[in-house]
Structures are given as structure tokens and as C-alpha cells.
Chain A
Amino acid sequence: MPRSTLTEAGSAPEAVWLRLKKRLFSSPLNTLLTVLIAWLLLMVVPPTVEWLLLDADFRSSSAQGCADSSGACWAFIAEKHRLILFGLYPYDEQWRPLLASCILLGLIVLSAVRRFWRPSLALGWLVGLLLVGVLMWGGAFGLSHVENTRWGGLPLTLILATFGIAFAFPLGVLLALGRRSRMPLIKAVCVLYIELIRGVPLISLLFMSSVMLPLFLPEGFSIDKLLRAQIAIILFAAAYIAETVRGGLQSIPRGQYEGADSLGLSYWQQMRKIVLPQALAVVIGPLVSIFISLFKDTSLVVVIGIFDLTQSAKAALADPQWQGFGAEAYLFIGLIYFFFCFSISRYSLAVEKRLQGAHGSTHYLS
């Protein structure tokens, strides 16, 4: 394993060479691999850099100008970035979704810092979400009203993901508890729900929410399309969260339940104070990967025509003046998705490491 050699050598040139030799040329096979990869990189990297940067067009004001250069057309992104980032939100009002995104991001970042883990954080979220709602909808404080059909881009993706996690997590925990319940009816309902949802793709749920749900609602009662998609995402993610949390619950030894029983705690007290804190700590890693896939899965709302980040990139591509820059647009929003998902996963690694330290267990990470 590569890590073990990290600390051995110093920084003297000779030591660097030795380390290099050990890592790259330790055996004939290893040397062959190194040479092959170096050749591959030489073939791939220079043309990619040329396309991405050196030959790229950053400034042209029309697709014609871009067609002359052999590289990427970042001028397309420069021209369309407002549409991609904010969708069809009224152009002059786009500071509002920008501010709303900043508030959401700020709240998420604050929640990640341990120093802020106290009750007032919940209050902060409440106020923040209220502010986001007011900013997006308008209709108060002199802000003009904006239909949520015109919301779009990054703020919408963030909203779908944040509310998705916020509601799916408690629902998932309840489902996991239900699946381990001793009451047969509750257990059966939870098992059925979890297995059914996990058996079908999210897309079919989204179609269901957009086509089927309206058919079953009572007359004269309708739910907004965006809300329906949000509900579908929540219901979908909850089933996966439930299975992960169940794994954590199963890892808690019987003694913990019995100990809690002997203290005379009620079921909910047992769960809240004894069992769940331990069970959730065990499954932080898998839970965070579910959150990350939820964030990525919000892009599927494209198929029912909701204007999230991916859909607004597609809208930008539909402009007949600017045809054929799909690769650039998708790389651009890919970078945005990557930034969020990668930060979350790094953060969860750090939390896991700290929790392992806190429990005083000696884990060997390779």
C-alpha cells in the first residue's frame, strides 16, 4: 500500500530519487506500467490542455467567431452563464436567486462547523429558509412576485437537494425504526414501502408524480409540479436512507437496548438518547454517499421538464445562434456538481476520522 512509504524518506535529492524508484520502478512490471502510463498521459494531456485552454476561445461574441478556433468555446459559457445559473428567472431580478443560493450555501457551511452545533442553528435554518422563500417568491417587501415555474438553475438544484435531505432523513430514520418494530403491521408496511421504492428507478417515480398523482387527487385540488417532484425525490431517498440506518441499528449490541430498558426509558427516549446517536455515527459514511447521490439525482427532474441546473444548460444549448457547444456546457455544470459533491465527501471523511478518534478505537485505514 502506497501510504506506508510516505514518511520514510527525507527531502534530499537522493532520497527523492530513492522514493521515486521505489514507487515507480521497483520491478520490471512496475517500470513497464510507468512507461505505459507516461506514454498514455503524453498522448492525452497535451491535446486536452490545448482544447481546454490554449486554443480555446474566451471572448468571441458569436458562434461564428468560436468556429474559427479549434479549441473549446468558453465564450458560449460567458454569453449564457446567467441562463445556465438562474434559468428563466426574470433577468433584472436575478440578484434574488443569487442571494438565496448564498444564504443556502452559508447555512450549509455553518452547519458543517462543529462550533455552531447548538439549538440556535435550527433557528438559523428556519430564518434562512424563510428568507430564501421570500426572495424566490417575492410578493412582499416590494419584491415582485415570481411564479415557481420560472425558478431555475443552481438555486433550484440547491433547493431540491436541501429540502430533499431535510425531509428524507427523518422519514428514512422512522422507516428504519419501523422495519425493526415488533408490531407486525408497521413492520410489514415499512418493508413493503422500502422494497417497492428501492425496486424501481427514480425516473418512474418522477413520471408517476407528474402524470399519476394528479389523477388521484380530489376534484379542484392540485399540487404544484415542482412540489410533486420534490415529494418524489424525498420518498425515493427515504427508502435508501432507511436501509442504511437499519444497518447502523443492527450493529448496536443487544446490551445497549437492555441497558436502556433497565433505566426505565420509554421507546422513544431509548431511541433518541441511546440507540440512534450510536447507530447514526456508524453509518455516517454511507449516509453521506446517499446525500451525494440525492444531490446528483436532482438532475433527473429534467425528464419532467423542471428547470434545474442541467435543464437550463440544455435550454442554453437550444439557442439556434449558438449550436453545437454541448461538451462545453456539460463540462461547465459538471464542474459545479463536482465542486459540491467532492466537498461533501471530503467533509464526511474528516467527520468519520474524528468520530473514530473520539471513540478511541484503533482502526487501520490501510
Chain B
Amino acid sequence: MHNLESRNIATGFAFLHDEAGFAIGETPIAYSPSDTYGRAIAVGLLNTLRVSVIAIVVATLLGTLVGVARLSQNWLLARLAGFYVEVVRNTPLLLHLFFWYAVITQNMPHPRQAYDLLPGVFVSNRGITLPRLEGAGMDGLLGGLALAIVLLIVAQLCRRHSAICRLITRPTNALIVLLALPALGWWMTGAPIEWDVPRLAGFNFRGGLTLSPEFAALLGGLILYTTAFIAEVVRSGIQAVSRGQWEAAASLGLPRRLVLRLVVLPQALRVIVPPMASQYLNITKNSSLAVAIGYPDLVSVVNTTLNQTGQAIEGILIIMAAYLTVSLSISLLMNWYNRRIVLVER
């Protein structure tokens, strides 16, 4: 404890109420340097969650595709997927992040000569600029969608006990709910939805949605990296289903697509879900590499905080608490899902 005293460091979390005094590049909630450390850390946490959630969703979709592609009958496709997985899995994530960050900031042109990938999508050394849907109608639409998802989750939870819940969770009805509620929300606000297409104004783009180079490199790197791991999880899950199951299903006259969907995937899912959960945890933890390319995630903000205040122990405790909370939430969610799909033996 002597070193603590000699550096004049007081313990405790009182510093969270002090003025932070440093700026943060990307702020999902309003933040200025005159706000408190507590708020700065909240901004960091939201940044971490934002990048993790998007990466989890996209990497799951892509990873499943690549995993299935590796087992494809098409030799070219299988080889291509295998090549991708091997290259990515055997190089450090940090290198991917540095590489993409360097490519975006050094090898991409200025906004004036930006690559126009698709209409309205521009890639320049200021990041990636996308068109964005805007207007009050959009709020209604998103509100309706959120409501629909909550409703479906609740219905899923109570389906054992109530006939109404069972009715809602039927696939067709669920689809209707998912489409109708957002439409209703849009209709109730009565406002139209517009595309906000980015335009070049001066030296940069105006309007649209801009992903900063840091965010784009982190998100892209995380997705590309984790896709390879998820692909392996999916592939080994599918291969864990014995050949007999494939052959039996094929001898019933099912085409390969249906064999995969009706017979193999439901069984493979049991093998896939636990390692998939740990991949999701890895994405969240790996997003902390953001600090190396300057994206203000939780670790990066807390690090700045502890450099300024010297509250190292508290800072580390905050990081641990935040990650443990996220980890435990993901574990709980995945365990719950796992219990639902696991084989019930009699």
C-alpha cells in the first residue's frame, strides 16, 4: 500500500463524479468533455456493446454460410471457404485490425475521389458512408419492430402455459406479428420515410450514416475474424451428425437441401450451440482490441480515465464488472436456448 500513498492516490469510486475533461470520438449518447467520468465510461460501454452486437449478428450469418460452404459438393466453393478459414484463423486479430485500419486510412482515396461501391455507398479515407432511412415514420417502424420482438420473446416464454402464447409463436403468426406491428407503427406516425443519401460537401460527406475508419476497421476485422471461427463451429457440428443420418434421409428421397434443414441441422444445433456461445463471448472480449486503433470502447475509455486519475484498481474493477455482466448475460441466454434444443433422453 506504500506505493499507493506515495503516489497520492485515494481509493474509492468518488472520482466517477468528477469532470472527465477528455473528448471521445464517437458518442452514441450526448457527451462533452465537461461531463463526468461516469458518463464517459457509459459511452465507452455503449460503444463496446454497439460493435459487439452488430458483429455477433453478422458473423453468425456469414459464419453459418461459410461453414456450410466448406461442406459443399461444389469443389470450388468448398476450397475457397477452406482457404478463407485457414488464412484468417492462423493470423492474429490485432493484425487484421491494423491491416484494415491502414487500408482505409492510407490506401483509400480522399472523399472527393471516393469509391462508389453501390449507389450511395462511398468508401474513402474518412471511413464508409452509407445512405440512411430517416423521418418520424422510421421511429414508428423501429418502435413497432422492437415491440414485436419483445412480444414474441414473451410469448415464447409462456407458450407452455397459455393457448394465446402458443398461437402467437406459430411460424406464420410470428411472421405476421413481425410485419404487422412495424407497419402499424409506421402508419400511426403517419410520416413518410426518406432516404438520407450522403452528398459531397466541401472536403467531406454531408448526411447519410458515416462509419468512422476506426469503427469500420474494428467491425470489419471482428466480423471477418469471427466468421472463420463460427464457420468451423458450424462445420464440425454438421460433421458430428453421423453419416447414417444423411444416408437414411437421402433414402427417404429428400433432396439435399431438405436433408440439411430437416434432419441434419436440428441435430447439429445441439453440438453447435455451446461453442457458439463462447464465440459470442470472444467477440465481446475481442472488441477491447479497439484500444489499439483508437476506437473509444470501454477498455479504451477506462484506460484514459486511469491514466488521468490513477484509479487503477477501480478502473480494472469496472472493466471486470462490465465484461462479467455481459459474459454472464450471454451465457444465461445461450444456456436457456441450449436447454430448449437439447436432446431429451428418457
- Tell me which of B4, B91, B239, B327 contacts A334 (CB under 8 A): B91
Is the pair A207, B90 in contact by a Cβ cutoff of 8 Å?
no
| Residues on B with beta carbons closer than 8 Å to the beta carbon of A219 | 2-3
- For chain B, the bracket of interface size reads 35 or more
- Interface segment, one of A52-60, A91-99, A171-179, A295-303: A295-303
* A contacts with B, residue count (CB < 8 A): 54
Is the pair B90, A330 in contact by a Cβ cutoff of 8 Å?
no
Q: Check if A184 is an interface residue, CB within 8 A of chain B.
A: no
A203–B91 Cα gap in the complex (Å)? 18
A289–B286 Cα gap in the complex (Å)? 17
| Residues on B with beta carbons closer than 8 Å to the beta carbon of A33 | 72, 74, 76-77
Is the pair A310, B98 in contact by a Cβ cutoff of 8 Å?
yes
A292–B303 Cα gap in the complex (Å)? 28
Is the pair B103, A337 in contact by a Cβ cutoff of 8 Å?
no
Given contacts A201-B286, A204-B299, A215-B4, contact A310 B73 (CB under 8 A): no
**Of all chain B residues, which has the CB nearest A218?**
B2
A215–B328 Cα gap in the complex (Å)? 30
Is the pair A326, B312 in contact by a Cβ cutoff of 8 Å?
no
A23–B79 Cα gap in the complex (Å)? 11
A2–B87 Cα gap in the complex (Å)? 21
| Residues on B with beta carbons closer than 8 Å to the beta carbon of A212 | 312-313, 316
Given contacts A219-B2, A303-B291, contact A341 B91 (CB under 8 A): yes
Is the pair B299, A203 in contact by a Cβ cutoff of 8 Å?
yes
| Residues on A with beta carbons closer than 8 Å to the beta carbon of B336 | none
| Residues on B with beta carbons closer than 8 Å to the beta carbon of A342 | 86, 90
| Residues on B with beta carbons closer than 8 Å to the beta carbon of A2 | 71-73, 75, 78
Q: Check if A24 is an interface residue, CB within 8 A of chain B.
A: yes
Is the pair B102, A326 in contact by a Cβ cutoff of 8 Å?
yes
Is the pair B2, A199 in contact by a Cβ cutoff of 8 Å?
no
Is the pair B319, A327 in contact by a Cβ cutoff of 8 Å?
no
Is the pair A297, B98 in contact by a Cβ cutoff of 8 Å?
no
A202–B101 Cα gap in the complex (Å)? 21
| Residues on B with beta carbons closer than 8 Å to the beta carbon of A41 | 80
Within 8 A of A (CB), among B121-160: none
Q: Check if A30 is an interface residue, CB within 8 A of chain B.
A: yes
Is the pair A196, B74 in contact by a Cβ cutoff of 8 Å?
no
The tally of CB-CB contacts under 8 A between chains A and B is: 146
| Residues on B with beta carbons closer than 8 Å to the beta carbon of A310 | 92, 94-95, 98
| Residues on A with beta carbons closer than 8 Å to the beta carbon of B308 | none
A345–B122 Cα gap in the complex (Å)? 39
Instruction: Give the interface SS of chain A, mostly helix, strand, loop or mixed.
Output: helix
Is the pair A299, B107 in contact by a Cβ cutoff of 8 Å?
no
Cβ distance A349 to chain B, nearest Cβ, rounded Å: 12
**Of all chain A residues, which has the CB nearest B69?**
A33
Is the pair A199, B90 in contact by a Cβ cutoff of 8 Å?
no
| Residues on A with beta carbons closer than 8 Å to the beta carbon of B3 | 214-217, 219
By CB atoms of chain B within 10 A, which of A204, A217, A325, A366 has the most? Answer: A204
| Residues on B with beta carbons closer than 8 Å to the beta carbon of A302 | 94, 292
Using an 8 Å CB-CB cutoff, how does the interface string of A201-227 with B read, 1 for contact, 0 for none?
A: 111100110011011111100000000
**Of all chain B residues, which has the CB nearest A20?**
B75
Using an 8 Å CB-CB cutoff, how does the interface string of A177-205 with B read, 1 for contact, 0 for none?
A: 00000000000000000001011111110
- Tell me which of A30, A215, A297, A327 contacts B99 (CB under 8 A): A327
- Tell me which of B4, B75, B92 contacts A24 (CB under 8 A): B75
Within 8 A of B (CB), among A305-336: 310, 314, 317, 324-327, 330-331, 333-334
| Residues on B with beta carbons closer than 8 Å to the beta carbon of A297 | 92
A338–B7 Cα gap in the complex (Å)? 44
| Residues on A with beta carbons closer than 8 Å to the beta carbon of B101 | 326
Is the pair B92, A299 in contact by a Cβ cutoff of 8 Å?
yes
Cβ distance B77 to chain A, nearest Cβ, rounded Å: 6
Given contacts A37-B76, A204-B319, A207-B299, contact A299 B103 (CB under 8 A): no
| Residues on B with beta carbons closer than 8 Å to the beta carbon of A116 | none
Q: Check if A350 is an interface residue, CB within 8 A of chain B.
A: no
Is the pair B323, A201 in contact by a Cβ cutoff of 8 Å?
yes
**Of all chain A residues, which has the CB nearest B287?**
A201
Cβ distance B313 to chain A, nearest Cβ, rounded Å: 6
| Residues on A with beta carbons closer than 8 Å to the beta carbon of B91 | 296, 334, 337-338, 341
Q: Check if A26 is an interface residue, CB within 8 A of chain B.
A: yes
| Residues on B with beta carbons closer than 8 Å to the beta carbon of A26 | 73
Q: Check if B204 is an interface residue, CB within 8 A of chain A.
A: no
A217–B6 Cα gap in the complex (Å)? 13
| Residues on A with beta carbons closer than 8 Å to the beta carbon of B313 | 212, 215
| Residues on A with beta carbons closer than 8 Å to the beta carbon of B4 | 215
Q: Check if A34 is an interface residue, CB within 8 A of chain B.
A: yes
- Tell me which of A200, A215, A364 contacts B323 (CB under 8 A): A200
A127–B134 Cα gap in the complex (Å)? 68
A215–B86 Cα gap in the complex (Å)? 42
A364–B239 Cα gap in the complex (Å)? 10
Cβ distance B325 to chain A, nearest Cβ, rounded Å: 9
Using an 8 Å CB-CB cutoff, how does the interface string of B91-117 with A read, 1 for contact, 0 for none?
A: 111110011011100110000000000
Is the pair B76, A34 in contact by a Cβ cutoff of 8 Å?
yes
Cβ distance A338 to chain B, nearest Cβ, rounded Å: 5
Q: Check if A38 is an interface residue, CB within 8 A of chain B.
A: yes
**Of all chain A residues, which has the CB nearest B275?**
A286
Cβ distance A54 to chain B, nearest Cβ, rounded Å: 18
| Residues on B with beta carbons closer than 8 Å to the beta carbon of A196 | 320, 324
Is the pair B303, A207 in contact by a Cβ cutoff of 8 Å?
yes
Is the pair A324, B106 in contact by a Cβ cutoff of 8 Å?
yes
Given contacts A201-B285, A204-B299, A215-B312, contact A23 B75 (CB under 8 A): yes
Cβ distance B247 to chain A, nearest Cβ, rounded Å: 11
Q: Check if B245 is an interface residue, CB within 8 A of chain A.
A: no
Q: List 23 A-B contacts (CB under 8 A).
A: A2-B71, A33-B76, A34-B77, A196-B320, A200-B319, A201-B285, A201-B323, A203-B289, A212-B313, A214-B3, A219-B2, A219-B3, A296-B91, A303-B291, A310-B94, A326-B102, A326-B103, A326-B106, A327-B102, A327-B107, A330-B99, A338-B87, A341-B91
A-B pairs, top 4 by smallest CB distance, nearest first, are A326-B102, A341-B90, A23-B75, A296-B92
Apart from A2-B71, A2-B75, A342-B86, list 18 A-B contacts with CB within 8 A.
A1-B71, A2-B73, A34-B74, A37-B74, A203-B289, A207-B316, A208-B312, A214-B3, A219-B3, A296-B93, A302-B94, A310-B98, A324-B106, A326-B102, A326-B103, A327-B99, A364-B243, A366-B239
